[in-house]
């Protein structure tokens, strides 16, 4: 009887550990963005923070979801639009062709194997883009992703590309998110 009780307790501990790995399904909403300097991305003559320069970036959302031993990170980020279509050339080609990038649209960027078992970081890998057409995305994979305040806040640091004042810039972008829901 004691052997059965011990086995049951061991089984419960294992289930509890698996639940902890499988339970994370968090959605984070963008609070603010800090860049290494202000850029006039929207060509209005005023250099302000990135949220004011690209209002659509305010709709940026991050979902972190654990499935088995892999953590998936889905980052929705604003991508450049040309003629009401997503960018079809690299930023460099668009710059050379003098395309007018004046609007942005939110696009999904999925990554996996980064926040496995909370604090242990692994190499970040880009999964296949969810878009089936061959648009060129400007979003660069993050250089760091940190969960803070008991996973209620998320900070993502990345280097991004924009065309500003007829030149290509590569600002360091630090995005701050707060959890919306936790399941």
Q: What are phi and psi of 112, to 5 degrees?
A: -145, 165
pLDDT band, residue 174 (cuts 50/70/90): very high
CB 181 within 8 Å of CB 65:
no
pTM > 0.85: no
Give the residue among 125, 169, 175 at the shortest CA–CA distance from 145: 175
pLDDT band, residue 112 (cuts 50/70/90): low
SS3 109: strand
Say if residue 131's pLDDT is above 50.
no
Instruction: Name the β-bridge partners of 181.
Output: 27
Mean pLDDT of 16-26: 57
Give the whole-angstrom CA distance, residue 139 versus residue 121.
21
Give the whole-angstrom CA distance, residue 150 versus residue 169.
34
CB 99 within 8 Å of CB 83:
no
Say if residue 13's pLDDT is above 50.
no
SS3 90: coil
What's residue 23's pLDDT? 66
pLDDT band, residue 176 (cuts 50/70/90): very high
Angle at 144 between CA 53 and CA 172, to 5 degrees: 35
Written as six digits, the tokens of 141 are 């994979």
Query: Biggest alpha carbon distance in the chain?
Result: 79
């Amino acid at each position: 009887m004691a052997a059965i009780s011990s086995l049951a307790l061991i089984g419960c501990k294992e289930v509890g550990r698996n639940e902890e790995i499988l339970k994370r399904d968090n959605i984070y909403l963008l609070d603010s963005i800090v860049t290494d300097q202000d850029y006039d991305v929207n060509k209005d003559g005023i250099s302000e923070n990135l949220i004011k320069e690209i209002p659509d970036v305010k709709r940026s959302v991050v979902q972190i979801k654990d499935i088995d031993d892999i953590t998936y990170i889905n980052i929705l980020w604003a991508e450049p639009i040309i003629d009401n279509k997503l960018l079809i050339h690299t930023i460099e080609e668009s710059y050379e062709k003098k395309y007018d990038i004046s609007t942005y649209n939110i696009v999904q960027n999925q990554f996996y194997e980064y926040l496995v078992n909370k604090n242990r970081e692994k190499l970040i890998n880009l999964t296949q883009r969810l878009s089936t057409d061959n648009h060129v995305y400007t979003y660069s994979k993050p250089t760091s992703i940190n969960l803070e305040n008991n996973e209620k806040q998320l900070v993502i640091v990345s280097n991004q590309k924009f065309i500003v004042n007829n030149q290509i810039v590569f600002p360091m972008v630090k995005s701050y998110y707060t959890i919306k829901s936790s399941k």
